[in-house]
């Protein structure tokens, strides 16, 4: 954790709309929307030392991943500074913070996307449960990391191929070739992405012809088809209309019953609606990690409060 000092520019004329509590009163939390706290994460009541502020760790879910002392460099530029962060199993963790603070950079470390570019360098560990393999260690094959940790990008990016081939891509990569096996996998993934009913009669049509929201669900199905344990979403709804956004948010909540989700969003209403835990980042550092309700209603750090009340960002 870093010290929460007032950021440069936070004394600007931009008015703070309200206190965090007042502001959050206008945000429907997942708990309010579902009428329960059945998954136990949203107000899970506490984090062990180093993982937030509350005291009762007994209600915490199992950890799916643990980021330890992570530094990341683009050439000589250090984009992530000493990040320590737990990612809880079958929960949604939101990464929030102003543009350029390192949210996407952190997300891309989990599935080794940076390996696709030269001059990037990781330091530290991202340990993946259950066996504790280090995702960014030299011994970890990046392709294997991407099969276990899937990713959905900001702009829907289906391949210019049929819906079927988009979703069959991962299973084929894993070596599946029998038509009936592929068909079963594709159906399962499309059902998981809440897209089966809309597409089952036109699996051979080009995915690029679908609406933006449907394209994003094809991309989710493509990610699901590798049966990942963790799915990363980088601002998955920022190019979508409100109805498509709502469908993706509902889908994320369904998926987190089976898998672990990390979502980058600059929409704090979205973070508040969908996530169980929230990590607030600033200038490459993790400022605060806590249950989402705590971050938005009673954050530990003044910098977090200044951000969520709109004083900067």
Inter-axis angle of helices 242-255 and 212-224, nearest 10? 20
Kindly tell me which of 104 and 237 has the beta carbon lying closer to Mg ion: 104
Residue 104 contacts Mg ion per CB under 5 A: yes
Q: How far is the CB of 235 from Mg ion (least distance, A)?
A: 6
Q: Tell me the window of 1-9, 98-106, 117-125, 294-302 that interacts with Mg ion (CB under 5 A).
A: 98-106
15 cis-preceded (ω within 30 degrees of 0): no
CB nearer ligand ADP, residue 97 or residue 228: 97
Three-state SS for 281?
strand
Packing angle of the helix pair 163-173, 212-224 (nearest 10 deg) = 20
The answer to whether 17 contacts ligand ADP (rule: CB under 6 A) is no
Q: Please, what is the minimum distance in Å from the beta carbon of residue 108 to Mg ion?
A: 9
Calpha distance 94→288 (Å, rounded): 12
CA-based R_g, the chain, Å: 19
Place of tokens 């959905």: 152
Closest CB 48 distance from ligand ADP, rounded Å: 27
Q: Which of 30, 101, 207, 210 binds ligand ADP (CB under 6 A)?
A: 101
Query: Which of ligand ADP, Mg ion, none has residue 60 at its interface (CB below 5 to 8 Å by kind)?
Result: none
Nearer Cβ to Mg ion (96/225): 96
Minimum distance from residue 312 beta carbon to ligand ADP (Å): 14
Question: Least CB distance from residue 72 to ligand ADP, whole Å?
Answer: 9
For residue 119, the tally of other CB atoms under 10 A from its CB is 10
Phi, psi angles (nearest 5°) of residue 284: 80, 0
SS3 of residue 285 by DSSP: strand
Residue 276's binding partner out of Mg ion, ligand ADP, none, with CB under 5 to 8 Å set by partner kind: none
* Residue 152 tokens, joined: 């959905």
**H or E element at residue 182:** helix 179-192
Is residue 265 a contact point for Mg ion (CB under 5 A)?
Answer: no
Spatial neighbors of 8 by CB under 8 A, at least 6 apart, are: none
Q: Which is nearer to ligand ADP, 72 or 88 (CB)?
A: 72
Residues in contact with ligand ADP by CB under 6 A are: 74, 77, 79, 97, 99-105
Residues in contact with Mg ion by CB under 5 A are: 104
């Amino acid at each position: 954790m870093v010290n929460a000092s007032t950021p440069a520019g936070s004394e600007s004329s931009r008015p703070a709309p309200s206190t965090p509590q007042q502001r959050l009163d206008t945000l429907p939390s997942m708990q309010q929307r579902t009428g329960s706290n059945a998954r136990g994460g949203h107000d899970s009541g506490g984090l062990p030392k180093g993982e937030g502020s509350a005291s009762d760790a007994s209600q915490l879910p199992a950890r799916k991943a643990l980021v330890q002392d992570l530094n990341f460099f683009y050439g000589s530029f250090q984009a992530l500074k000493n990040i320590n962060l737990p990612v809880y199993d079958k929960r949604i963790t939101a990464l929030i913070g102003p543009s350029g603070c390192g949210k996407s950079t952190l997300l891309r470390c989990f599935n080794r996307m940076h390996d696709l570019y030269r001059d990037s360098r990781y330091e530290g560990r991202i340990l993946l449960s259950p066996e504790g393999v280090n995702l960014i260690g030299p011994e970890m094959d990046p392709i294997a990391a991407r099969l276990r940790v899937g990713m959905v990008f900001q702009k829907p990016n289906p391949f210019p191929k049929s819906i079927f081939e988009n979703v069959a891509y991962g299973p084929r990569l894993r070596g599946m070739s029998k038509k009936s096996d592929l068909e079963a996998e594709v159906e399962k993934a499309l059902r998981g992405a809440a897209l089966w009913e809309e597409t089952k009669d036109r699996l051979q049509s080009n995915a690029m012809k679908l609406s933006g929201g449907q394209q994003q669900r094809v991309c989710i199905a493509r990610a699901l088809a590798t049966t990942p344990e963790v799915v990363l979403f980088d601002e998955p709804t920022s190019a979508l209309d409100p109805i498509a956004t709502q469908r993706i948010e509902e889908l994320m909540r369904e998926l987190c019953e089976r898998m672990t989700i990390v979502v980058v969003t600059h929409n704090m209403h979205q973070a508040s609606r969908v996530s169980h835990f929230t990590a607030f980042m600033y200038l490459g550092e993790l400022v605060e990690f806590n249950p989402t309700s705590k971050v938005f209603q009673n954050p530990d750090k003044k910098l977090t409060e200044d951000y969520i009340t709109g004083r900067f960002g």
